[in-house]
Structure 1
Amino acid sequence: MRDGCRVAGMVLKWAGLLAALSGCVGSACAMFLWLLDHAAATRLAHPWLLYGLPVAGVTIGLLYHWFGRTTEGGNNLIVDQIHEPGGGVPLRMAPLVMAGTVVSHLFGASVGREGTAVQMGGSIASAIGRLCRLRDPDEVRVLLMSGIAAGFSAVFGTPVAGAVFGLEVLRVGRIEYGALLPVMFAATMADWVCHAWGIEHVPYTLRFHGYAGLDGRFFHADMLLLAKVMVAGVAFGLASLLFAESVHRVAAWLRRFCPTPWLRPAIGGVLTIALVWICGSRDYLGLGIAAPEDGGASILNFFGPAHYPLAWAWKLVFTVAVLAAGFKGGEVTPLFFIGAGLGNALSAWLHAPVDLLAGVGFVAVFAGAANTPLACTLMGVELFGAADIVYFAMGCFMAYACSGHSGIYLAQRIGVPKRRAAKYLTGMTLRQARAGYQPPTPAAPSQTGRKTSP
């Protein structure tokens, strides 16, 4: 009887915690997406706003310099707090990152929205944990993971992928199954709340559903096409690696070149204006889901018959310029653009269906950059349907294997190394792996069988 009451109390406690978290995160994401839509519409109506991007960048930099120094870690701060709960995630991270991202999009920075949603989810989860006086580090971890899942799910409309992302993003090669039910509940409820506010997500159309066999029936995999997807998967993984390393290396160079943090975004703004003049197009500003002009490069147009051979490379350069300089937002939607654009370009070389390779690239480049192949496979199913799941899985798994021990979240810890020869990386963060950190070697035993003194 006593055990039954204890279990019932725990269920009620977590139901209340997760309901409050989901309602807050879903509502915050709904407001955020509504503001983004209006910011994008305003920018398209007033193209001259692009020239204010350097000033907007400095404004964001000063905002964080004055009020948000403890939140500068962004997504990595949340992942660090999950691994080693300590001071928590400041609540002010949510309004700061939302304001910074909306301003970035208003003036044309090529940033995404996932980082903002995840950071809002993490900061709200941490605040609820403090309000409810959660003391158990394991409970704090579960609540933060649920916040990540809720933010990701609500901003993309993919509850299953959001739940798995919240479990998979913490460790490379390993999933935290202990929090499966809470993150699934939070992801589903946050998506529902966001939808209840009237937010609709962009529908993507993938018409390819397989080739008919001699008997007229469709089978789930064509071996030749699957081989082509594997080849494309290698390219997607290398693109993931190129993107992640470019952001990290350019950011490090900018820190040396301009030691003042709040001035660095001005450099990114000037670079963006110069890139627009060089390429002669505004297609690579903002999210890039729809093109500002008919026939322009965009995620939606990559699924059509037109080919865009270099659009993915331009988007990569535009995004690296602003993220490395310190603009707020995220990497995921630009990674969707890069992946779909690269798939569109590769389809002509591989003689494969354009929309299929665009869809596989859409999720695979993100899978390689975030080291979350299972979440991205499920995202492909939720966005495009289950008919092509074999191709989504093959593309995501190949990209994950080929992207190396790098990624956009350097606080990720390596649970299972991608190469057998890299077992020594187990337990390290990606930041340590990139820096060439070597674990201490155990002391060699002496001739008497005892360990030598240090």
Structure 2
Amino acid sequence: MYRLKTDQGKIFKQLVYWTARIIPVSVVTGSLVALFLWLLEWATETRWAHLWIIFLLPVAGVGIYLLYRFFGKDAEAGNNLIMDEIHEPGGGVPIQMTPLVLVSTVVTHLFGGSAGREGTAVQMGGSIAALFSKWYQLAKEERSVLLLCGMAAGFGAVFGTPVTGAIFAMEVLFIGRIKYNALIPCLISSLLAHVVCSAYGIHHTLYSITTRIPAAIVKKGGWELSFDFVLLTKVIVAGIFFGLAGMAFAWLAHTLKKLWKLLIKWDWLIPVAGAVVILSVSYLLGTFDYLGLSVTNPDQQNSIVSAFSYGGVTHWSWLWKLVLTAVTLSAGFKGGEVTPLFFIGAALGNTIAALTGAPADLFAGLGFIAVFAAATNTPVACMIMGVELFGGENILYFAIACFTAYYFSGHSGVYKAQRIDVPKTTIKP
């Protein structure tokens, strides 16, 4: 009994210790994310109101290159730098990462780059946490925990999913393992940053899945499980395609980054070439719906929101978003991968639903989280995200889609700093 009391006392003391250090990080991160989301909305509305501005995308690309060239230090590595610092503390995360990624992401969206927002929020949270860890004079292991809290705070605040933010930060470091040493600190930081961000009046996009598939029915004598095996089969097959889509995105983004270096001698010309490709593809497609976040569009077509209804996207919308986002990020523009992955998954899910007769809203939601799970190797976080965004009634299908996609994406991923702890297969060739 004495040992139990001693352990509980140590745990309580540790929680107080971390909470006191987390609060400032979370408040600053939540405030910065609120500012970022407000600027992002302004940039999106300005671009649609003055569409001619997209012709300045090449100039914007050069500007971003010069910013990082003269002021970026190691900040160019982005999320990978933060993850490497958590794996092996020592190099540090520069505080200039915050203003650089904030400005460059807003510029990317203002002038028409196809990118997301998670990378920016996570980088801001990580760099703020790194700054506070220096002020606190923390030991290496404690610095790693605080960096995880910064990542969780950024992710939870930018999407309005605090539980997902906490799990994502711990799950994304390793394929096959979750770092539970920061479980409660990450949850506290993610939740607090979300509360702070919301306090500024920031509203997140609401998604809805009206389809409800009962997992059980009541019969005499108690409960009896009853599944729609046809639908279950469709979800598994869709999960395979979601996994392949996530793998394709990661492969294309990494391959294009290498290809730019091989084909173009002067680094400052790479974003110019990328911008030309983005604008050319958009003109050939006859639409600019795939630029920016693509959460919503003025014409209410080819967006994440419209993908939850039949006919809301074309059958190949997911592919065009995949290509344009890979070109944008590989060419040096800034933002994140996650929101474009949401679009890719939702649009692909809509297409699969149309071809198989499945519910469009359910399969769009499954793709929304499953392609994200595949590309980032975070199936547990993505399953929880499904519950936070869409409700828990269809959690069985969330789990099946995310876990299937996770395995069928192989060991690829958008984050180079992610390490393999438990391989996805033990079968030797």
TM-score range, shorter chain: over 0.9
- Looking at structure 2, the residues matched to 397 and 343 of structure 1 have their Cα atoms a distance apart, in angstroms, of 16
Q: 221-230 or 370-379: which moved more?
A: 221-230
Q: State whether structure 2 residue 261 is matched by structure 1 residue 258.
A: no
Alignment match of 1:63 (pick from 59, 63, 67): 67
Shift of 1:262: 2.9
Contact 1:22–1:189 (8 Å) recurs in 2? yes
Aligned to 1:304: 309
Report the count of equivalent residues. Answer: 421
Shift of 1:10: 4.4
Aligned to 2:130: 126
Q: Secondary structure at the match of 1:69?
A: coil
CA deviations over 1:70-89 (Å, ceiling 9, x no partner): 11110000000000001211
**CA 1:19/1:305 → structure 2, altered by over 3 Å: closer, same or farther?**
same
Aligned to 2:42: 38
- Looking at structure 2, the residues matched to 420 and 3 of structure 1 have their Cα atoms a distance apart, in angstroms, of 38
- Looking at structure 1, the residues matched to 277 and 411 of structure 2 have their Cα atoms a distance apart, in angstroms, of 29
**CA 1:212/1:255 → structure 2, altered by over 3 Å: closer, same or farther?**
closer
Q: Secondary structure at the match of 2:305?
A: helix
- Looking at structure 1, the residues matched to 231 and 9 of structure 2 have their Cα atoms a distance apart, in angstroms, of 56
Within-5 A mapping of 1:20-419:
20-134=24-138, 136-210=139-213, 221-294=227-300, 296-306=301-311, 308-419=314-425
Letter in 1 for 2:197: C
- Looking at structure 1, the residues matched to 428 and 93 of structure 2 have their Cα atoms a distance apart, in angstroms, of 32
CA deviations over 1:76-134 (Å, ceiling 9, x no partner): 00000000001211011011000000000000100000000010011000000001111
- Looking at structure 2, the residues matched to 4 and 395 of structure 1 have their Cα atoms a distance apart, in angstroms, of 39
**CA 1:11/1:343 → structure 2, altered by over 3 Å: closer, same or farther?**
closer
Shift of 1:12: 3.7
Shift of 1:9: 5.8
**CA 1:214/1:181 → structure 2, altered by over 3 Å: closer, same or farther?**
closer
- Looking at structure 1, the residues matched to 381 and 15 of structure 2 have their Cα atoms a distance apart, in angstroms, of 27
Shift of 1:14: 1.7
Q: Secondary structure at the match of 1:243?
A: helix
CA deviations over 1:116-158 (Å, ceiling 9, x no partner): 0010011000000001111x21101100111111100000000
**CA 1:219/1:329 → structure 2, altered by over 3 Å: closer, same or farther?**
farther
Unaligned runs of at least 5 residues, structure 2: none
CA deviations over 1:271-315 (Å, ceiling 9, x no partner): 111011110001100000112314x21111110121520100111
Letter in 2 for 1:43: R
Contact 2:215–2:226 (8 Å) recurs in 1? no
Contact 2:162–2:191 (8 Å) recurs in 1? yes
CA deviations over 1:345-375 (Å, ceiling 9, x no partner): 0112222111110000000000000000000
Aligned to 1:439: none
CA deviations over 1:172-216 (Å, ceiling 9, x no partner): 010001110100110110101100111010000111011598879
- Looking at structure 2, the residues matched to 218 and 385 of structure 1 have their Cα atoms a distance apart, in angstroms, of 23
- Looking at structure 1, the residues matched to 341 and 356 of structure 2 have their Cα atoms a distance apart, in angstroms, of 21
Q: Structure 2 length as normaliser, TM-score? A: 0.94
Structure 1 ranges of 4+ moved more than 3 A: 1-13, 211-221
- Looking at structure 2, the residues matched to 76 and 186 of structure 1 have their Cα atoms a distance apart, in angstroms, of 21
Contact 1:221–1:390 (8 Å) recurs in 2? no
Structure ID, larger Rg: 1
**CA 1:214/1:364 → structure 2, altered by over 3 Å: closer, same or farther?**
closer
Q: Secondary structure at the match of 2:77?
A: coil
Aligned to 2:427: 421
Letter in 2 for 1:111: A
Contact 2:75–2:94 (8 Å) recurs in 1? yes
Q: Structure 1 length as normaliser, TM-score? A: 0.89
- Looking at structure 2, the residues matched to 397 and 212 of structure 1 have their Cα atoms a distance apart, in angstroms, of 18
Letter in 2 for 1:117: A
- Looking at structure 1, the residues matched to 276 and 226 of structure 2 have their Cα atoms a distance apart, in angstroms, of 48
- Looking at structure 2, the residues matched to 277 and 303 of structure 1 have their Cα atoms a distance apart, in angstroms, of 26
Contact 1:29–1:155 (8 Å) recurs in 2? yes
- Looking at structure 2, the residues matched to 414 and 257 of structure 1 have their Cα atoms a distance apart, in angstroms, of 31
Q: Secondary structure at the match of 2:363?
A: helix
Q: Percent identity?
A: 51
Letter in 2 for 1:348: A
Within-5 A mapping of 1:428-439:
none
Contact 1:291–1:297 (8 Å) recurs in 2? yes
Q: Secondary structure at the match of 1:245?
A: helix
Letter in 2 for 1:122: G
